A and B are shown apart, each in its own frame.
Chain A
Amino acid sequence: MLAVLAASCLCGYRAYAGARPVIGGIPSSSFFDAKTAVGNDGMLRLIFDYNTSKFPTLTYGSGPGSALWIIDPNGSVVAAGSPTIPASVGSDVFAVALLNSTFNFLNERSNLAIFAQPSGNTTVLFYYNTGNAGLGNTNSFATWTYNSSGALIAAAGPYAFSGLQLAGLYFDPSGKIIARWRAGTSASSPNAAWVLDEFGTILNSTLFHGPFGSTFLGKIRLNSSNQQIWPFLSKNASGQYTTTIWTFDSFGILAHAQVYGPF
């Protein structure tokens, strides 16, 4: 009996030694999102990029842009978005990020992501760079919302602020948009975040928090009350990790903080 207990303690200790909380990473990126989506209505939303030239350029021209199609389960197009998204919207975030390729139409050239909302609407999220091109330089965004017939029913933004970049811009699984503003280029720079609904309405915003040195913010999540949940990762001098979970109230004020570790 004692031997079993000793073995359990030893195994348990080994299991927790150096435990590192996983609060983001490639499988849960805080940037980008899908360009296809299926809603609760079973309809597929699809983006068509109308390419005017064979090879992409950094700003992919002033061609016709991109179109949203809504396709039923039988493959029939039931609606097409109007108006067409102009090619001048957004900048080269996706083209540069995806392999920096110049192959024929290998990568997506529209700088947007879409989400099929539970209401049947489709929200389009536009990514913009200003100045330097490439990943990490996105500093503004805008949204459009089409209804189930493809008609444009809402437009918001673009939001661009001096000295701020977007460290995160994506759809939460609920369809809400999370925009994480960062003052500076370091991973530990101060952050503030907004939550927007399917129409691009800002539901709440936090104040700026940080910089916190070697403590890093992971992917921000939402609960069903639209409260932001911020996971932090810290590493002490002994190489052990601590995670701190912050929960904001629905007005964006920090309401709870809980620290775990080191284990």
Chain B
Amino acid sequence: MAGKAIWKGYINFGDVNLPVKLHTAIKEDRIQFHLLHKRDHLKLRQQMICAFEKKPVPTEAQVKGFEVEEGKYIIVDPDEIEQTAPEDSRMIEVREFVKTEQIDPLFLERVYYLEPDVPLKGYDALVGALKEMEVAGICTWAMRKRYYLGALQTGGKILRLTTLRYADEVISLKSLELPDIPLSEKELKIGSDLINRLTAPFQPQKFENEHQKKLQSLIEKKARGEKIAVLRPRRLKPTAPDKLLQALEASLKKVA
């Protein structure tokens, strides 16, 4: 079953005004740990401590500040910040359409499923149009006191809305300033051959969260009082630059 409906809105562009309900699409199942005091195994709590007095500070004595310079703050009232929050407008405004393949995965944040709301007319038509033209709608909307940028796309028979990061939230790859190292045509050819040999169709059902299962069994072993062998991870020896061609050739031989 899809996640619960968290919001209702209207997809709006041209003469399209389509009512939809947003549902969460991902459910992460994780083993949760508590943080305990080693000495007495008591569950710890988070507290705000004054850096100066080294003592806990109650909520009534806490204020929010924006650091303008080291050690200097502008105090803000939570109500003042509230005032800057947008009103929920229910309009998911499509500003433009782009070819889906142009959207770099670095910009994708959180995906929601869109369920058609009444009246139902037009939903299937929009799904069909987006799918056949292979495009996504770039949208803006205000939800739960925040402004969002997103991509309206199809997924199977339904519409999906994925929030997008703003441009300045993605760190530019050029800023990494990686060195340009020359490579021989031979290294590149063998490397490419190797990759093509190791290529398989994407079948996500092949992959399970094995670590989660092993973690579960570790917990069960300890609960039974069994001794745990602590294995130390080994680091693989890095391939030296002058041994790279050799490693590639040996790899290709291995998969042939």
Chain B binds chain A: no
